[in-house]
Structure 1
């Protein structure tokens, strides 16, 4: 099988050499600052322009088919063009796309979330995960009367200044491991923002206790992703979850669980999987059925900061497209089909992929490892799984190796993100085994490079 894979890779050529993709990128560079509208777009050196998606597969503008492991950054848990969502959206579009008035569909989706996700008594809908995090932090400030937040080093929480602090810290800037230094993400980020964020390391039990306690009088909340994607996609230590929760309760601040990405880890989400009992949960991605969405859910008393029934609320929140009927309709149908059986299927496929990759690594003694859970996995250019963001930070050689891995997968008709990869419900055991075979083929064909990295380490 590995020989067949190597042969197909050679025949395919550069993954982004399609003529129409190259032509499209030339046109795009005339209208976008760098030829794209999102910094997250991968290029090698040209982005892959997509014409359509069906189930687990993408078809580019040059007619090539790829097994998709990105799914628009883990959003499409039912894959592309999911039939029930397409049908429901078609019906809704014929009745209208958005209104200034509420619709019954928003009640139904909110009721599903309140009934499924522990600690979610009330919900507010917004349009993105960034907005969900933004308003969750503001809700914590309004509820506690404090302004600072604590967050995990390296964790991604969207594009809100305070949530972006130390999102991209480097060895040159992240400071002492016992007290990480707040880092600006972009030039011109106000210094006052850095002063209002306490940075803690994932899985650092004593550190999170000490830093929360010493800043308690100013902290409104600690926000954490139960399994940070950019932090290595590693499981939290139970004692770390307990330390966060106990420290927050003791010092009167809220726990915000950012599950925009990781809600897909179980029927009840990631917090339930790892024993965290948050006060507020941010949601997005899978709850929109492929359309823009975000949601803030939480305890009834905390969510009352949004209550405008008696006049101006403690925290005003609107949004022209918040709770629009298209996102509500698509999200409701997608979540209704994401039942216990669907999650069991995703767990099985995820296990096949991760276990298969581990066996391939063990057989070749390659300096790589794989992390993740449920329908998520991430391959690292290091021999041992990382413990936190600092451990997962790649060396220059590791970065080069991961680019080569991504390219090899593309040459073999699989879209593999350089960060977190995901699995969807329409995928099959054969798809999962193909992923493992391609990975094994990479190890076999790049043994000289892998040996060089082992020597270097």
Structure 2
């Protein structure tokens, strides 16, 4: 396969070295390659610089984590001060109290908090907390929604047309070879925005369901807006049947000052958080109702749910997260939303002008481009046909060749250092892609 001109010699040399120490030349499956990844030397504000000196506007932001972009000065200063005082302790620090207080004051339904190291751990312990509280073992989750690398959360993450089951009876599908069938039996799969389906399935399995795990706008599921009636159906069916609602806001907490659940009218029992609350360092958190969070309480002996971690609530993550979150006030979120609207509206305008069979979804500082004319309603409708998937790869490649890192088939994000000029640049590059790939767009439209 030909290597794009954007991949420089040092990136090629680095990948050759990496292939000698990593199974596939990378240390995580999410690394994008075409076929060689771009190796980064540094990040400044909204831009990345690779090892060959190329400069890119970063729309990945480490998978939406870096809401303040790279090397955010207040975080750098706070971390430098904390590093001089120590990086981690077995004892607690006051910074963890301050970050927990901030989250509790800002995010509805968070009476108590526990810190962990990743979003995966946050979801893992939220599910365990629901089991400990209810005495039930099963969970329900959305088809195609990502909830980290926990077996139960990975069920039907990669469901495909050949195995996802009928429209009213989604099947539990394995994400990796060897996933225990017992795990599949313990997960009820729901379709996003399927009002009747969620009512029927939650009621049918209620006696065994501890929780329904719901990302209010699943990124991997298409970054599609939830219907108000779907949110209401989840809330009602769960409440009627003693099922806890876990809002996975690891990614979507950035949708507003108070998070995504508040934006869409969801009232969860537990909330999982990560990414932006760590200021660029590893973090995860579980927050929720006081009575549910009491399963972690070890003050009287062994708790219903023991939870620990060598680096949980470490002072570096607490310090970086507290600093970053303090700089996310109402005007900052309003500005991020404004830039997001400019990008999404500009993309829609370019699509309309060209008559292309594409669309864009998202909200606030997030957007995702789809190779289809109509905005999808759920994961199945967002699932791209093979030729459409090729088009999206070309889109990512075109953006990179024009100095923008656009995640392939995933959510792109706006960061606070981005400017109006950056937003207009994104739209201009997208319009340039439509102009230069009209033949390919026409060919795909003829086959759909």
After TM superposition, is the score higher than 0.5? yes
Tell me what 1:157 maps to: 147
Task: Give the distance between the partners of 1:141 and 1:16, measured in 2 at CA.
Answer: 49
Cα shift at 1:16? 4.3
Tell me what 2:259 maps to: 269
Task: Give the distance between the partners of 1:100 and 1:226, measured in 2 at CA.
Answer: 35
List per-residue Cα deviations over 1:364-398 (Å, max 9, x = no partner): 11010000000000000000111000001010111
Task: Give the distance between the partners of 1:44 and 1:194, measured in 2 at CA.
Answer: 33
Tell me what 1:6 maps to: none
What is the SS of the residue equivalent to 2:211?
strand
Cα shift at 1:454? 1.1
Tell me, yes or no, if structure 1 residue 300 matches structure 2 residue 286: no
Tell me, yes or no, if structure 1 residue 25 matches structure 2 residue 18: no
Tell me what 1:428 maps to: 419
Cα shift at 1:15? 4.9
Task: Give the distance between the partners of 1:160 and 1:177, measured in 2 at CA.
Answer: 26
Task: Give the distance between the partners of 1:76 and 1:439, measured in 2 at CA.
Answer: 23
Tell me, yes or no, if structure 1 residue 327 matches structure 2 residue 314: no
What is the SS of the residue equivalent to 2:206?
coil
Tell me, yes or no, if structure 1 residue 185 matches structure 2 residue 169: no
Task: Give the distance between the partners of 1:300 and 1:166, measured in 2 at CA.
Answer: 31
Cα shift at 1:17? 2.5
Structure 1 unmatched ranges of 5 or more: 1-12
Task: Give the distance between the partners of 1:156 and 1:346, measured in 2 at CA.
Answer: 24
Tell me, yes or no, if structure 1 residue 392 matches structure 2 residue 406: no
Contact 1:69 1:422 in 2 (8 A): yes
Aligned pairs for 1:38-437 within 5 A: 38-418=28-408, 419-437=410-428
List per-residue Cα deviations over 1:326-384 (Å, max 9, x = no partner): 00000000000000011011000000000000000000110100000000000000001
Structure 2 unmatched ranges of 5 or more: none
Contact 1:16 1:44 in 2 (8 A): no
Task: Give the distance between the partners of 1:215 and 1:39, measured in 2 at CA.
Answer: 34
Pair 1:452–1:18, CA change in 2 (3 A) = same
Contact 1:223 1:256 in 2 (8 A): yes
Task: Give the distance between the partners of 2:412 and 2:251, measured in 1 at CA.
Answer: 11
Tell me what 1:444 maps to: 435
Compute the TM-score of the two structures, normalised by the length of structure 2.
Answer: 0.99
CA RMSD after TM alignment: 0.6
Task: Give the distance between the partners of 1:141 and 1:447, measured in 2 at CA.
Answer: 52
Tell me, yes or no, if structure 1 residue 455 matches structure 2 residue 411: no
What is the SS of the residue equivalent to 1:246?
helix
Task: Give the distance between the partners of 2:391 and 2:79, measured in 1 at CA.
Answer: 42
Task: Give the distance between the partners of 1:174 and 1:16, measured in 2 at CA.
Answer: 38
Query: Where in structure 1 do 4 or more consecutive aligned residues deviate above 4 Å?
Result: none
Compute the TM-score of the two structures, normalised by the length of structure 1.
Answer: 0.97
List per-residue Cα deviations over 1:178-226 (Å, max 9, x = no partner): 0100001011111100000000000000000000000000000000100
List per-residue Cα deviations over 1:111-155 (Å, max 9, x = no partner): 000000000000000000000000000000000000000000000
Tell me what 1:5 maps to: none
List per-residue Cα deviations over 1:396-419 (Å, max 9, x = no partner): 111100000000000000000011
Contact 1:16 1:46 in 2 (8 A): no
Task: Give the distance between the partners of 1:362 and 1:274, measured in 2 at CA.
Answer: 28
Task: Give the distance between the partners of 1:16 and 1:360, measured in 2 at CA.
Answer: 25
Tell me what 1:4 maps to: none
